[in-house]
A and B are shown apart, each in its own frame.
Chain A
Amino acid sequence: MTQGQGTLEVKDLHVSVAGKEILKGISLTLKKGELVAIMGPNGSGKSTLAYALAGHPRYTVTKGTATLDGKDILSQTPDARARAGLFLGFQYPVEVSGVSLSKFLWTAYTQRHVAEEIDIDAYQARLDGNMGQLGVDGAFLKRSLNEGFSGGEKKRIEVLQMSTLEPVYAILDEPDSGLDIDAVRVVGESIQAQRKPGIGILVITHYQRILKYISPDRVYVIVDGVVVKEGGRELAEELEVKGYDWVKPPSS
């Protein structure tokens, strides 16, 4: 096996936005089959990490590497990263007028699996199954992508996209923010249901409450652009009790 096979590996990643350094040397790994949580207070750089890995043009990587199965992704365009198997579930999904969810999903799926022969029936069956699990009504397929969807609906649709597009590494940026308790459970359980040997999932969250449903293999805590703590599930619970002040970065 090639070096780095089966891993999304981030080493010493420094990222600036509009000239201001937000990430100051983040290193972490996500293996296929793993579910890893990234926690941290607001403004710690969690979402910056997600955007930088997905290749948003406004996020400039100034130092460090990120590799997907041993191959550099930072030099690739966002779409090439996606086709290589990376997925970003947005904290604030974008509305695209006039493009139906079903057309969008199909277009994205065919782009992601461009070299393969696609079994349309199998695709449809999987989509139906995923929608059932997430409790997404079939009527959503005909509606414009995210347009007029509630916050909870948008989050569910992001998870639906993940489960339908079959990425190899998925980053979910705060899939639980803005949701009520019931919706957190639905989203959490459906993420848990996606756990398979072939996919590594990175869940970014501010709160511990979604972790009740998804039991992460590991937890990273990011504060002020660096990883300040790494541990197992119990770390999340400790944070819930003690708060983020407990894990201030060593320098400050």
Chain B
Amino acid sequence: MQDASQMTPLDYTRYDFKDPETYKVRTKRGLSRDIIRQISKIKNEPSWMLEYRLKAYEHFLERPMMDWGPDLSDIDFDAYTYYANPMEGEPRKKWEDLPADVKNTFDRLGIPKAEREFFGGVGAQYDSGTVYHKIREDLTKKGVIFTDTDTAVKEYPEILRKYFGKVVPYTDNKFSALNSAVWSGGSFVYVPPGVDAGIPLQAYFRINARSVGQFERTLIIADKGAKVHYIEGCLPLGEEVLVGDQLTPIEQIESGQTVLNSAGEETQVEKTMVRPFDGELVTISPVSVGNTFQLTPEHPVLCVPRAQVQTGRRSNRKLTDVSQTKLAKAEPRFVPAGELREGDFLHYPINKTVRDVPEMSEAAMVVLGYYLAEGCAQTINGCEAVTFTFHIDEAEFVNELDAAVVQLTGKHLWRNPQPGKHAITVGVYSKELHAFCVEHAGKLAAGKHLSKQVMDLPPEKQALLLDAYYKGDGNNYERGGTVHRVSTISRQVAFQVQELQARQGVFASINVREPFTETMKDGRTISHQRMYVVYHQVGKRAEAVRKVHGAFLVPIRKITQTPYRGSVYNFHVAGDNNTYLTKGFSVHNCTAPIYSDNSLHAAVVEVIAEPNAKIRYTTVQNWSKNVYNLVTKRAFAYENALVEWVDGNMGSKVTMKYPSVYLKGRGARADILSVAFASEGQIIDSGAKAVHAAPDTSSKIVSKSIAIRGGRTSYRGLLHVARGATGVKAAVRCDALLPDGISRSDTYPYNEIHEEDATITHEAVVGKIGEEEIFYLMSRGLKESDAIHLILMGFLAEFAKELPVDYALELNRLIQLEMTGAVG
């Protein structure tokens, strides 16, 4: 871990981040006829569209809120900004032409890469503005149109007017009226008769600013016999980039790496991430100055606040005294870094990992200890040797080392006194010992470090290593108790020695002596490198650092704020304990949303499949948990056409979304696969509608939902068979999984069947995750949380296999993240 927290210079150019709320064009908050006129004017729209918007607005004003479904009374329509565009003019066709902040945001989501590798066309919308749209040339040649809807209003008015608002009229519901009044952006896709668009077209949507609504309008038309697959991603990674934080140095951490969590147990890094940051970073210096670390103010840090354990007396001018009994009983808790005070106790867990390597004998520990201090692995006259330099008075140490070397190699040390320097160099020729020392303790003073195997050995063995190391490199002095200290130019050795001492039950502080140049009397100058001094005191009356079960509590000496603009890093770790150590201290993975205000996403999607056409529309959304996501999605399927909705709903505060297919021609088919995942504070009210308006039509609806941590999912479905629609086949399956006892899932199926010969099947299953299932997987070595995760992913497999691989991986990660600590 220490390894990973080294500061490295930042690459500012790559992640340069501008104020996210500097928009080129935005309307003032709230909604009125004037605002709508202003939006229309900004877009330079034809008058018919303005009239349409204004009529929709009238309807919006008259239309009451829905009297069913989740509570939406929190929505204050006057609190939103209805139009905000980060740039002026047409959407760019070249990625390089995007404003830097927008580009960065989408870059981090891998969009240009996705375009190159997987898709036939890509669009990107940032709040209200479509910032980018591009389609492959071969598709353009076939007559495929893929552009933003604003552009389509001007360039393809005859196609657009034929379909716009015909599938979802503004009178459909309050939010379709709102969308029709203020819509901006969205995709327009037209595939000419008989053309197969082949590889999918994809659009990305992102709400970036506080209290900005996003109201895109998407229109997909597949003409007779045409085929198209459209994918929209509501920035699955965006949430994580926004919420994750922790700072610079952990950019070196890589997935799969092992770190310690706050319990002192090893855990795997699952995923690393980066986000831009512009504000004050908090620098926390504990009494061990070398352990100073920096993080963003909202990042939780495990600590015992001093206020919780003080006696009221003052031990010195600044700090109150602390009750030993209170401290021993205090439960550490996570406090945002910005709320920490000087004197609060940080939690430094002791690494519990022990893996003995029997071949590493006690003699080997002694040799490694001296080697770390004084040793040098070199090749002399073509032979590998290990040499050590001692002070001339240290014969006792030389003898100890000699005994150990004899045990390991069967040879005595050769001794080469250097009286002029008051030193003696000793050594041994041994290929094996040379290799052993280099493997387990590194080479050259600055590059020395102990191997993982050595760090994991039982503490009793490590004690021998420490003893030899302190004899070789250390010195003691008296200051109200004996101070033991060692100095090293290897930063890593300093942190490793600190960790080894902790395993011995001793908290050793680290001080940093900055590099300096000294001029001697004889005129020579000596440059001193940066030096790390590891020290602890024995026998002092009251130590500042307290030992509690499995950890040390280390008081904060100083807290400072530093303005910072650049990238901050964070990572997720595996297991139920999503914590890790920064410079040895426990911090929590940060999952708080950035904004507390609510955002509103009210889209309208209209899909038209002409006879024999095939359309698949895939959505994976992971909105921030402050977003009201109220979307109307509907398709018309004509004779023998097929419409497939693949709709994954995670994130958001409230989602209401019921993708529908109106089967309007004989033989038309609908296939709707809808997935909902609701965690704490979330309501996902989703489902599907199939309206059979023609004979011999068929529909299949599969809904899968998971609610955890008190989250709520509902399936709301409509199956309508119109009079005259004979020979209809319809199947509905709703599976809900509730892994805990506090979440909720409801099913509201509505069937309106007006023809008797319809074949309808309906299954609904609500399941818990069974003890036997979990035990079976655990008996194969899976941790409980991993077992549950695997079962959940199995539950969603039917959905995941329909997704592009990136989205499937993202879904996997997201569920793992959401499940952390949810069960058990």
Q: Is A161 an interface residue (CB 8 A)?
A: yes
Q: For the complex, what is the distance from the CA of A204 to the CA of B771, rounded to whole Å?
A: 23
Q: Is A8 an interface residue (CB 8 A)?
A: no
Nearest CB of A to B391, in Å = 41
Q: Would you call B781 and A82 a contact (CB within 8 A)? A: yes
- Report A-chain residues with C-beta under 8 Å of the C-beta of B355: 115
Q: For the complex, what is the distance from the CA of A81 to the CA of B779, rounded to whole Å?
A: 8
Q: Would you call A99 and B794 a contact (CB within 8 A)? A: yes
Q: Which of A47-62 contact B (CB under 8 A)?
A: 54-58
Nearest neighbor of B268 in chain A, beta-carbon distance: A114
Q: Is A140 an interface residue (CB 8 A)?
A: no
Add 11 more A-B contacts to A56-B775, A98-B795 (CB < 8 A). A54-B779, A58-B771, A78-B778, A79-B781, A79-B784, A79-B787, A90-B776, A104-B780, A108-B782, A112-B781, A144-B797
Taken residue by residue from 444 to 486, chain B's Cβ proximity to chain A (1 for < 8 Å, 0 otherwise) reads as 0000000000000000000000000000000000000000000
Nearest CB of B to A170, in Å = 11
Q: Of residues B778, B784, B786, B796, which shows the largest number of chain A Cβ atoms within 10 Å of its Cβ?
A: B778
CB < 8 Å neighbour of B780 from A56, A144, A161: A161
Q: For the complex, what is the distance from the CA of A82 to the CA of B783, rounded to whole Å?
A: 10
Q: Is B791 an interface residue (CB 8 A)?
A: yes
14 interchain pairs, CB-CB under 8 A: A55-B779, A79-B779, A79-B784, A79-B787, A82-B778, A93-B776, A94-B776, A97-B797, A98-B793, A98-B796, A99-B790, A108-B780, A111-B786, A115-B355
Q: For the complex, what is the distance from the CA of A171 to the CA of B791, rounded to whole Å?
A: 24
Nearest 6 pairs of A and B residues by beta carbon: A98-B794, A98-B797, A82-B781, A108-B780, A99-B794, A111-B781
- Report A-chain residues with C-beta under 8 Å of the C-beta of B793: 98-99
**Contact A96-B778, Cβ < 8 Å, known A79-B783, A79-B784:** no
Q: Would you call B781 and A96 a contact (CB within 8 A)? A: no
Q: Would you call B782 and A79 a contact (CB within 8 A)? A: yes
CB < 8 Å neighbour of B779 from A82, A96, A98, A144: A82
Q: Would you call A107 and B786 a contact (CB within 8 A)? A: yes
Q: Which B residues fall within an 8 A CB radius of A? A: 355, 770-773, 775-784, 786-787, 790-791, 793-798
Taken residue by residue from 178 to 192, chain A's Cβ proximity to chain B (1 for < 8 Å, 0 otherwise) reads as 000000000000000
Nearest CB of A to B809, in Å = 14
Q: Would you call B782 and A97 a contact (CB within 8 A)? A: no
Q: Is A202 an interface residue (CB 8 A)?
A: no
* Interface of B, helix, strand, loop or mixed by DSSP: helix
Taken residue by residue from 74 to 97, chain A's Cβ proximity to chain B (1 for < 8 Å, 0 otherwise) reads as 000111011100011010011011
Q: For the complex, what is the distance from the CA of A7 to the CA of B779, rounded to whole Å?
A: 19
Q: Would you call B780 and A165 a contact (CB within 8 A)? A: yes
Nearest CB of B to A190, in Å = 18
Q: For the complex, what is the distance from the CA of A19 to the CA of B771, rounded to whole Å?
A: 19
Q: Would you call A94 and B782 a contact (CB within 8 A)? A: no
Q: Would you call A99 and B780 a contact (CB within 8 A)? A: no
Q: Would you call B790 and A104 a contact (CB within 8 A)? A: yes
CB < 8 Å neighbour of A107 from B776, B790, B795, B797: B790
**Contact A96-B784, Cβ < 8 Å, known A54-B779, A78-B775, A78-B779:** no
Q: Would you call B791 and A99 a contact (CB within 8 A)? A: yes
**Contact A79-B778, Cβ < 8 Å, known A57-B771, A94-B772, A115-B355:** yes
- Report B-chain residues with C-beta under 8 Å of the C-beta of A56: 775
Nearest CB of B to A25, in Å = 24
Q: For the complex, what is the distance from the CA of A83 to the CA of B770, rounded to whole Å?
A: 22
Nearest CB of B to A107, in Å = 6
Q: For the complex, what is the distance from the CA of A27 to the CA of B407, rounded to whole Å?
A: 43
Taken residue by residue from 96 to 129, chain A's Cβ proximity to chain B (1 for < 8 Å, 0 otherwise) reads as 1111000010011001100100000000000000
**Contact A144-B775, Cβ < 8 Å, known A82-B781, A111-B782, A111-B783:** no
CB < 8 Å neighbour of A96 from B771, B776, B783, B786: B776
CB < 8 Å neighbour of A165 from B770, B773, B781: B781
CB < 8 Å neighbour of B784 from A58, A77, A90, A97: A77
- Report B-chain residues with C-beta under 8 Å of the C-beta of A54: 775, 779
Q: For the complex, what is the distance from the CA of A49 to the CA of B794, rounded to whole Å?
A: 30
- Report A-chain residues with C-beta under 8 Å of the C-beta of B770: 94
- Report B-chain residues with C-beta under 8 Å of the C-beta of A99: 790-791, 793-794, 797
Q: Would you call A96 and B777 a contact (CB within 8 A)? A: yes
CB < 8 Å neighbour of A111 from B780, B796, B797, B798: B780
Q: Which of A128-169 contact B (CB under 8 A)?
A: 144, 161, 165
Q: Of residues B778, B779, B780, B781, which shows the largest number of chain A Cβ atoms within 10 Å of its Cβ?
A: B781
Q: For the complex, what is the distance from the CA of A94 to the CA of B773, rounded to whole Å?
A: 6
Nearest neighbor of A108 in chain B, beta-carbon distance: B780
Nearest CB of A to B682, in Å = 23
Q: For the complex, what is the distance from the CA of A21 to the CA of B141, rounded to whole Å?
A: 79
Nearest neighbor of A83 in chain B, beta-carbon distance: B781
